[in-house]
Amino acid sequence: VDCRPKDLYNEGHIPTAVHLGETCNDFFRDDLEIKGIGSLKELAMGRVEELEKKLGQAGISLDRTLIFYDQREEPGATERGRYYGIFAGYVFVPFWYMEYMGHKDVRVLDGGIGAWTAEGRSLEQKTNKLQPTQFKANVMKSRLATTEEVLKIAKKEVDAQLVDSRTIDEHLGNSPTPKGHFLADKIRRGGRIPNTVLNVPHYFQLNVKDNPDAPKLRQVYQLHRLYQSLDKNKRTVLYCYIANRISFSYFVLRLLGFNDPAIYHDSWIVWGNDESLPIEAGKKVREF
């Protein structure tokens, strides 16, 4: 599945790749009403039936291997901004969502189409379509953490690991959002959720040195080092700002063999705007 805009798909795509008619980000997200903010393009948990219909119409089924790919660099992005989260929602949000919907064999092309072409592989312009099918989700509720669950973790009422995938500035409370974020003026408080045990900014998981235009994941042993302080057998809940970057970190935890990873969908956009919820700031918790 080509997750890029349709015009880029038409210009050239990996042979046999299909397109969902819109970016994967738009396909899997919807406008939700978030308290104190209003409408926001966000992961939508209440859309399983709608997505069953859309996925079936696109020919996507649970019994076929599903591979998503993207374009890791967005034209015009700042050098650092391109790694801050632009690509994460395009390809890793659908990865998480399909696992949430019960798909057992979802994959992501490492490095995206940029790595594909850099290695001399061909593209095609033919429009590919799959036969419509029936898609019936087998929702895995454990892949999603609610605010209620995270509050219990923050209060140390349950034994689980809470991991912050945001930038160091966000983690310390110096900035409530990534610098330059379009929702920078929509958040009331900066800081982090209490009882967070680790901060691994999502872009630490990328090897941007060897190919900055199409970065691949770091080597597995390097990824292990980032999360070596965690217990793979414990429930591990990730949070960021709008559940974009954590989809990437979720993918990495799955790759590393964590048994019970989950994303906190509400993340800081909800937690930071709800003054009834506790926060802390300042001195960094363990990085890795």
Residue 38 to residue 279: CA distance in whole angstroms: 22
> pLDDT band at residue 66, thresholds of 50, 70 and 90?
very high
More confident residue, 159 or 88: 159
Q: What is the mean pLDDT of residues 218-235?
A: 97
The mean pLDDT of 152-178, rounded to a whole number, is 94
Whether 196 is covered by a domain: the verdict is: yes
Domain count within the chain: 1
| Domain annotation covers residue 287 | no
Section 216-229 average pLDDT: 96
Average pLDDT score over residue span 208-237: 91
Residue with the two structure tokens 């290695």: 119
Cα diameter, the chain: 55
pLDDT (tens digit, 9 = 90+) per residue, 26-41?
898 876 666 666 666 5
Query: Residue 188: what pLDDT?
Result: 83
Question: Whole-angstrom Cα distance, residue 210 to residue 172?
Answer: 30
**b/e 231-250 (16+ beta carbons within 10 angstroms → b):** eeeebbbbbbbbbbbbbbbb
Structure-model confidence comparison of residues 285 and 35, the more confident one: 285
pLDDT band at residue 79 using 50, 70 and 90 as cut-offs = very low
Is the pLDDT at 173 greater than 70? The verdict is yes
Q: What is the mean pLDDT of residues 97-104?
A: 96
Is 277 a domain residue?
no
Q: Classify 117 as helix, strand or coil.
A: helix
Instruction: Give the model's confidence band at 42: pLDDT under 50 very low, under 70 low, under 90 confident, else very high.
Output: low
pLDDT at 86: 45
Q: Is residue 61 part of a domain?
A: yes
d(CA 64, CA 180): 39
Kindly give, in sequence order, each residue whose CB lies less than 8 Å from that of residue 237, ignoring residues fewer than 6 positions away: 145, 149, 150, 153, 160, 161, 162, 163, 261, 262, 263, 264
The conformation of residue 164, written as its DSSP 8-state character, comes to: E
For the stretch 130-141, pLDDT in tens is: 999 999 999 999
Inform me whether the pLDDT recorded for 223 exceeds 90: yes
Q: What is the pTM of this model?
A: 0.91
Q: Directed axis angle between helix 245-255 and helix 88-100, to 10°? A: 60
Q: Is 176 helix (H, G, I), strand (E, B) or coil?
A: coil
Q: Is residue 122 part of a domain?
A: yes
> For strand 161-164 and strand 235-239, is the pairing parallel, antiparallel, or unpaired?
parallel
Q: Which residue is it, tokens 């705007």?
A: 273
Q: What rounded mean pLDDT belongs to the chain? A: 88
Kindly state whether residue 278 falls inside one of the protein's structural domains: no
- Judge whether 247 and 25 are in contact, CB under 8 Å: no
Strands 216-217 and 206-207: antiparallel
Higher pLDDT, 118 or 47: 118
Q: Is residue 128 part of a domain?
A: yes
In which domain, by residue range, is 137 found?
6-271
The reply to whether 259 falls in a domain is yes
C-alpha 67/C-alpha 56 separation (Å) is 16
> For position 75, what pLDDT does the model report?
44
SS3 sequence of 211-276 = CCCCCEECCHHHHHHHCCCCCCCCEEEEECCCCCHHHHHHHHHHHCCCCEEEEECCHHHHHCCCCC
Q: Residue 11: which CATH number?
A: 3.40.250.10
Range list of H helices, 75-156: 88-100, 112-118, 147-154
- Mean pLDDT across 98-120: 94
